Amino acid sequence: MDIYRKILNEIKQRHAALVLVTKTKGIDVISEFYNMGHRDFGENKVQELMSKYEALPKDISWHFIGHLQKNKVKYISPFISLIHSVDSIELISEINERALKNNRTIDILLEIKIAAEQTKYGLSMDNCLDLLENPLLKTLKNVRICGLMGMATYTDAIETVSDEFHNLKIFFDHLKNKYFSDQESFSELSMGMSGDYHLALDEGSTMVRIGSLILGER
Ligand SMILES: *Cc1c(COP(=O)(O)O)cnc(C)c1O
Protein backbone atom coordinates (compact mmCIF):
# COMPACT_ATOMS: atom_id res chain seq x y z
CA MET A 1 0.00 0.00 0.00
CA ASP A 2 2.90 2.35 0.73
CA ILE A 3 4.09 2.12 -2.85
CA TYR A 4 0.53 2.83 -4.07
CA ARG A 5 0.27 5.96 -1.94
CA LYS A 6 3.72 7.16 -2.93
CA ILE A 7 3.05 6.74 -6.65
CA LEU A 8 -0.45 8.19 -6.40
CA ASN A 9 0.95 11.29 -4.70
CA GLU A 10 3.59 11.76 -7.38
CA ILE A 11 0.94 11.46 -10.08
CA LYS A 12 -1.48 13.83 -8.36
CA GLN A 13 1.26 16.44 -7.91
CA ARG A 14 1.62 16.39 -11.68
CA HIS A 15 -2.16 16.83 -12.06
CA ALA A 16 -2.45 13.46 -13.73
CA ALA A 17 -4.65 10.45 -12.98
CA LEU A 18 -3.78 6.87 -12.13
CA VAL A 19 -5.44 3.97 -13.89
CA LEU A 20 -4.58 0.90 -11.84
CA VAL A 21 -4.06 -1.96 -14.28
CA THR A 22 -5.54 -5.05 -12.64
CA LYS A 23 -5.42 -7.55 -15.53
CA THR A 24 -4.80 -11.10 -14.25
CA LYS A 25 -5.38 -9.91 -10.66
CA GLY A 26 -8.35 -11.13 -8.64
CA ILE A 27 -11.49 -9.50 -7.33
CA ASP A 28 -9.91 -9.44 -3.85
CA VAL A 29 -7.05 -7.23 -5.05
CA ILE A 30 -9.39 -4.77 -6.76
CA SER A 31 -11.66 -4.67 -3.68
CA GLU A 32 -8.72 -3.78 -1.49
CA PHE A 33 -7.96 -0.69 -3.59
CA TYR A 34 -11.64 0.11 -4.00
CA ASN A 35 -11.96 0.19 -0.23
CA MET A 36 -9.13 2.72 -0.06
CA GLY A 37 -11.10 4.94 -2.41
CA HIS A 38 -9.59 4.02 -5.76
CA ARG A 39 -12.09 3.97 -8.64
CA ASP A 40 -10.17 3.81 -11.92
CA PHE A 41 -9.16 0.32 -12.98
CA GLY A 42 -7.78 -0.89 -16.32
CA GLU A 43 -8.35 -4.25 -18.01
CA ASN A 44 -7.27 -5.59 -21.39
CA LYS A 45 -9.53 -8.60 -21.95
CA VAL A 46 -13.30 -8.36 -22.43
CA GLN A 47 -14.22 -11.62 -20.71
CA GLU A 48 -12.07 -10.91 -17.69
CA LEU A 49 -13.47 -7.40 -17.45
CA MET A 50 -17.05 -8.71 -17.63
CA SER A 51 -16.65 -11.08 -14.72
CA LYS A 52 -14.98 -8.37 -12.63
CA TYR A 53 -17.63 -5.82 -13.58
CA GLU A 54 -20.38 -8.19 -12.47
CA ALA A 55 -18.70 -9.00 -9.16
CA LEU A 56 -17.68 -5.49 -8.09
CA PRO A 57 -19.42 -2.21 -7.11
CA LYS A 58 -21.02 -0.31 -9.95
CA ASP A 59 -19.37 3.03 -9.24
CA ILE A 60 -16.01 1.76 -10.52
CA SER A 61 -14.72 3.52 -13.65
CA TRP A 62 -13.52 0.74 -15.94
CA HIS A 63 -10.88 1.55 -18.54
CA PHE A 64 -10.40 -0.76 -21.50
CA ILE A 65 -6.73 -0.73 -22.51
CA GLY A 66 -6.29 -3.82 -24.71
CA HIS A 67 -7.01 -4.60 -28.32
CA LEU A 68 -10.77 -4.49 -28.78
CA GLN A 69 -12.46 -6.67 -31.38
CA LYS A 70 -15.55 -5.18 -32.99
CA ASN A 71 -17.71 -8.18 -32.10
CA LYS A 72 -16.96 -7.69 -28.40
CA VAL A 73 -17.89 -4.02 -28.12
CA LYS A 74 -21.47 -4.96 -27.26
CA TYR A 75 -20.43 -6.59 -23.99
CA ILE A 76 -18.69 -3.55 -22.51
CA SER A 77 -20.75 -0.78 -24.11
CA PRO A 78 -23.35 -0.53 -21.28
CA PHE A 79 -20.80 0.49 -18.66
CA ILE A 80 -17.30 1.19 -19.99
CA SER A 81 -15.89 4.50 -18.80
CA LEU A 82 -13.06 5.02 -21.30
CA ILE A 83 -11.69 2.90 -24.16
CA HIS A 84 -7.99 3.78 -24.55
CA SER A 85 -7.17 1.60 -27.54
CA VAL A 86 -9.29 2.69 -30.51
CA ASP A 87 -7.47 2.52 -33.83
CA SER A 88 -9.96 2.41 -36.71
CA ILE A 89 -13.05 4.17 -38.03
CA GLU A 90 -14.79 0.78 -38.21
CA LEU A 91 -14.29 0.28 -34.50
CA ILE A 92 -15.51 3.82 -33.74
CA SER A 93 -18.57 3.15 -35.85
CA GLU A 94 -19.35 -0.04 -33.93
CA ILE A 95 -18.81 1.70 -30.58
CA ASN A 96 -21.17 4.45 -31.73
CA GLU A 97 -23.86 1.95 -32.67
CA ARG A 98 -23.62 0.19 -29.31
CA ALA A 99 -23.54 3.49 -27.43
CA LEU A 100 -26.75 4.53 -29.21
CA LYS A 101 -28.43 1.26 -28.25
CA ASN A 102 -27.51 1.95 -24.64
CA ASN A 103 -28.67 5.54 -24.88
CA ARG A 104 -25.27 6.90 -23.89
CA THR A 105 -22.09 8.47 -25.21
CA ILE A 106 -18.90 6.46 -24.94
CA ASP A 107 -15.58 8.19 -24.33
CA ILE A 108 -12.59 6.93 -26.30
CA LEU A 109 -8.92 7.66 -26.91
CA LEU A 110 -7.18 7.09 -30.22
CA GLU A 111 -4.19 4.80 -29.86
CA ILE A 112 -1.15 6.11 -31.69
CA LYS A 113 1.90 4.04 -32.64
CA ILE A 114 4.92 5.78 -31.17
CA ALA A 115 7.29 2.89 -30.50
CA ALA A 116 10.14 2.01 -32.83
CA GLU A 117 9.34 -1.68 -32.54
CA GLN A 118 6.79 -3.20 -34.90
CA THR A 119 3.48 -3.24 -33.07
CA LYS A 120 0.28 -4.67 -34.43
CA TYR A 121 -2.09 -2.08 -33.05
CA GLY A 122 -2.41 1.67 -33.06
CA LEU A 123 -2.67 4.30 -35.76
CA SER A 124 0.29 5.95 -37.40
CA MET A 125 0.05 9.73 -37.09
CA ASP A 126 -0.80 9.95 -40.79
CA ASN A 127 -3.59 7.40 -40.46
CA CYS A 128 -4.89 9.25 -37.45
CA LEU A 129 -5.13 12.45 -39.49
CA ASP A 130 -6.97 10.54 -42.24
CA LEU A 131 -9.38 9.19 -39.65
CA LEU A 132 -10.09 12.66 -38.28
CA GLU A 133 -10.73 13.94 -41.82
CA ASN A 134 -13.11 11.08 -42.59
CA PRO A 135 -16.59 12.62 -43.14
CA LEU A 136 -18.19 9.57 -41.51
CA LEU A 137 -16.70 10.57 -38.17
CA LYS A 138 -18.92 13.64 -37.80
CA THR A 139 -22.01 11.45 -38.00
CA LEU A 140 -20.93 9.25 -35.07
CA LYS A 141 -22.40 11.44 -32.38
CA ASN A 142 -22.46 8.94 -29.54
CA VAL A 143 -18.69 8.61 -29.42
CA ARG A 144 -16.56 11.30 -27.86
CA ILE A 145 -12.85 11.41 -28.68
CA CYS A 146 -11.20 12.53 -25.44
CA GLY A 147 -7.56 12.35 -26.44
CA LEU A 148 -4.73 9.99 -27.33
CA MET A 149 -2.99 6.93 -25.93
CA GLY A 150 0.50 5.69 -26.70
CA MET A 151 3.01 3.09 -25.60
CA ALA A 152 6.72 3.79 -25.82
CA THR A 153 9.40 1.34 -26.90
CA TYR A 154 10.27 -1.19 -24.22
CA THR A 155 13.88 -0.17 -23.62
CA ASP A 156 16.25 1.20 -20.98
CA ALA A 157 17.24 3.98 -23.39
CA ILE A 158 15.66 6.90 -21.56
CA GLU A 159 16.14 9.33 -24.41
CA THR A 160 14.30 7.10 -26.88
CA VAL A 161 11.31 6.79 -24.55
CA SER A 162 11.25 10.51 -23.75
CA ASP A 163 11.41 11.41 -27.44
CA GLU A 164 8.48 9.13 -28.22
CA PHE A 165 6.33 10.62 -25.45
CA HIS A 166 7.42 14.10 -26.48
CA ASN A 167 6.38 13.46 -30.09
CA LEU A 168 3.00 12.19 -28.95
CA LYS A 169 2.46 15.33 -26.86
CA ILE A 170 3.32 17.52 -29.87
CA PHE A 171 0.90 15.55 -32.01
CA PHE A 172 -1.77 15.85 -29.30
CA ASP A 173 -1.32 19.65 -29.19
CA HIS A 174 -1.51 19.80 -32.98
CA LEU A 175 -4.78 17.85 -33.06
CA LYS A 176 -6.16 19.92 -30.22
CA ASN A 177 -5.53 23.11 -32.21
CA LYS A 178 -6.65 21.78 -35.55
CA TYR A 179 -9.71 19.68 -34.72
CA PHE A 180 -10.71 20.05 -31.08
CA SER A 181 -10.06 23.65 -30.08
CA ASP A 182 -13.72 24.09 -29.14
CA GLN A 183 -13.95 20.78 -27.30
CA GLU A 184 -12.81 20.84 -23.70
CA SER A 185 -13.27 17.10 -23.48
CA PHE A 186 -10.31 16.52 -25.79
CA SER A 187 -7.88 16.71 -22.89
CA GLU A 188 -6.43 13.31 -22.09
CA LEU A 189 -3.01 12.00 -22.97
CA SER A 190 -2.76 8.43 -21.70
CA MET A 191 0.90 7.54 -21.56
CA GLY A 192 3.24 5.94 -19.05
CA MET A 193 3.38 2.50 -17.45
CA SER A 194 5.33 0.98 -14.56
CA GLY A 195 8.74 1.38 -16.17
CA ASP A 196 8.37 4.80 -17.78
CA TYR A 197 5.68 6.79 -16.00
CA HIS A 198 8.11 9.43 -14.69
CA LEU A 199 9.24 10.16 -18.23
CA ALA A 200 5.63 10.25 -19.40
CA LEU A 201 4.64 12.73 -16.69
CA ASP A 202 7.63 14.91 -17.62
CA GLU A 203 6.33 15.00 -21.20
CA GLY A 204 2.77 15.93 -20.31
CA SER A 205 0.88 12.73 -19.60
CA THR A 206 -2.51 13.29 -17.97
CA MET A 207 -3.19 9.62 -17.27
CA VAL A 208 -0.75 6.85 -16.44
CA ARG A 209 -1.60 3.15 -16.57
CA ILE A 210 0.30 1.24 -13.91
CA GLY A 211 0.06 -2.42 -12.95
CA SER A 212 3.10 -4.41 -11.90
CA LEU A 213 4.94 -1.66 -10.02
CA ILE A 214 2.07 -1.43 -7.55
CA LEU A 215 0.53 -4.90 -7.72
CA GLY A 216 3.61 -7.02 -8.34
CA GLU A 217 4.59 -9.18 -11.27
CA ARG A 218 1.84 -10.89 -13.23
C1 LIG B 1 -0.46 -4.17 -18.95
C2 LIG B 1 -0.60 -2.80 -19.48
C3 LIG B 1 -0.20 -1.69 -18.71
C4 LIG B 1 0.46 -1.79 -17.36
O5 LIG B 1 1.72 -2.38 -17.46
P6 LIG B 1 2.72 -2.42 -16.21
O7 LIG B 1 4.05 -2.52 -16.84
O8 LIG B 1 2.34 -3.63 -15.43
O9 LIG B 1 2.55 -1.18 -15.44
C10 LIG B 1 -0.40 -0.43 -19.25
N11 LIG B 1 -0.96 -0.25 -20.47
C12 LIG B 1 -1.35 -1.30 -21.23
C13 LIG B 1 -1.95 -1.01 -22.56
C14 LIG B 1 -1.18 -2.60 -20.76
O15 LIG B 1 -1.57 -3.62 -21.53
Rounded to an integer, what distance in angstroms lies between the CA atom of residue 42 and that of residue 61? 9
Percent of the chain with pLDDT over 70: 100
65 Cα: distance to centroid of ligand 1 (angstroms): 8
H-state helical runs in 56-157: 73-76, 89-101, 125-133
Query: Measured from the CB, is residue 212 less than 6 Å from ligand 1?
Result: yes
| CA nearest to 169, candidates 67, 19, 42, 16 | 16
212 Cα: distance to centroid of ligand 1 (angstroms): 8
Q: Are 65 and 21 in contact (CB under 8 A)?
A: yes
- Reported as a pLDDT band with limits 50, 70 and 90, residue 9 is very high
178 Cα: distance to centroid of ligand 1 (angstroms): 30
pLDDT at 1: 75
pLDDT at 110: 98
Rounded to an integer, what distance in angstroms lies between the CA atom of residue 208 and that of residue 106? 20
209 Cα: distance to centroid of ligand 1 (angstroms): 6
Tens digits of residue pLDDT in 36-73:
999 999 999 999 999 999 999 999 999 999 999 999 99
- Measured from the Cβ of residue 167, the count of other Cβ atoms closer than 10 Å reads 16
130 Cα: distance to centroid of ligand 1 (angstroms): 28
Q: Is the dihedral of CA 49, 46, 94, 82 positive or negative?
A: positive
* Residue nearest atom 12 of ligand 1, based on CA coordinates: 65
Overall average pLDDT of the 159-171 stretch: 98
Tens digits of residue pLDDT in 77-130:
999 999 999 999 999 999 999 999 999 999 999 999 999 888 779 999 999 999
pLDDT at 168: 98
Tens digits of residue pLDDT in 192-215:
999 999 999 999 999 999 999 999
Query: Measured from the CB, is residue 211 less than 6 Å from ligand 1?
Result: yes
Which of 8, 11, 21 to mutate for ligand 1's pocket (most ligand atoms within 8 Å of CB)? 21
Query: pLDDT averaged over the chain?
Result: 97
pLDDT at 118: 81
- Measured from the Cβ of residue 205, the count of other Cβ atoms closer than 10 Å reads 26
Q: For the chain, list the domains and their CATH numbers.
A: 2-215 (3.20.20.10)
Overall average pLDDT of the 10-37 stretch: 98
Query: Measured from the CB, is residue 68 less than 6 Å from ligand 1?
Result: no
pLDDT at 117: 83
Overall average pLDDT of the 172-200 stretch: 98
- Reported as a pLDDT band with limits 50, 70 and 90, residue 144 is very high
Rounded to an integer, what distance in angstroms lies between the CA atom of residue 76 and that of residue 53? 9
Within the chain, strands assigned E span: 17-21, 40-43, 61-64, 82-86, 106-113, 143-151, 188-191, 207-210
